[in-house]
Structure 1
Amino acid sequence: MKKDYRIKKNEDFSVVFQKGKSVANRQFVLYVLPKEGQPNFRIGLSVSKKVGNAVTRNRIKRLIRETFTQLKDDLNQSNDYVVIARIPTADMDFHEVKKSLIHVLNKARVFKKRERYQK
């Protein structure tokens, strides 16, 4: 994922946490903050040490990034997203992660064309 698509600074995370809206399911918490005039969305990832060791946490982050890469054309581009992975994600494969993220993104109403990801 390119540098333009990432949230890295602590201040940026804090702004999204304070001013953004949160939506959650059992596996993920998603914070969304609309940002007008932003050419593309940005994503920040948070995976606690409670989820697993470094290998597990990095694998989860890779799966989340890949899901957002696949969905990037269908997401609202002027948003900042912060994804917090919960403990059950440690045992999930890519398809389960993608399905769960689509679920939480649907709850947040951030898809351009909602009918594509409806059940």
Structure 2
Amino acid sequence: MKNKKIIKKNFEFQEIINKQKFYRNSSFVIYYTKNDKKYFRYGISVGKKIGNAVTRNKIKRQIRMMIQDQINKLPEFSYDIIIIARARIMEKSFDQNQKELIKLINQFLK
């Protein structure tokens, strides 16, 4: 079954980023825009400055896990979000990063 909640296309990333609605902290930048669907979609980007492919894939897996843990806890919302990991993500633990990510998501839902 195809996962409809993941944004993979480059033009979709660019559309969301070009709208210039974002929140950021030391570990993440989240770009967001409202969509016309009944569910939220997300995309994850980890730059090459953070590390080699193994490290970047590990960070992507961790971010996906953070989102999966919170899907049932968060209210239903119809947004497209792009999560960009920053270099400081490597300095913090998984729990600290998860708290920061959820805090950012809750900021634009208010």
TM range (shorter): 0.7 to 0.9
Structure 2 unaligned blocks of 5 or more: none
Q: 1:76 offset after TM fit, Å?
A: 4.0
Contact 1:42 1:81 in 2 (8 A): yes
In the TM superposition, what are the counterparts of 1:7-86 in structure 2 within 5 Å? 7-19=7-19, 21-36=21-36, 38-73=37-72, 74-86=74-86
CA-to-aligned-CA distance 1:59-81 (integer Å, 9 cap, x gap): 11111111111111314431001
Q: State the one-letter code of the partner of 2:100.
A: S
**Normalised by the size of structure 1, how large is the TM-score?**
0.82
**Normalised by the size of structure 2, how large is the TM-score?**
0.88
Question: How many residues of Structure 1 are paired with residues of Structure 2 in the alignment?
Answer: 108
Q: State the one-letter code of the partner of 1:56.
A: T
Secondary structure of the 1:63 match is helix
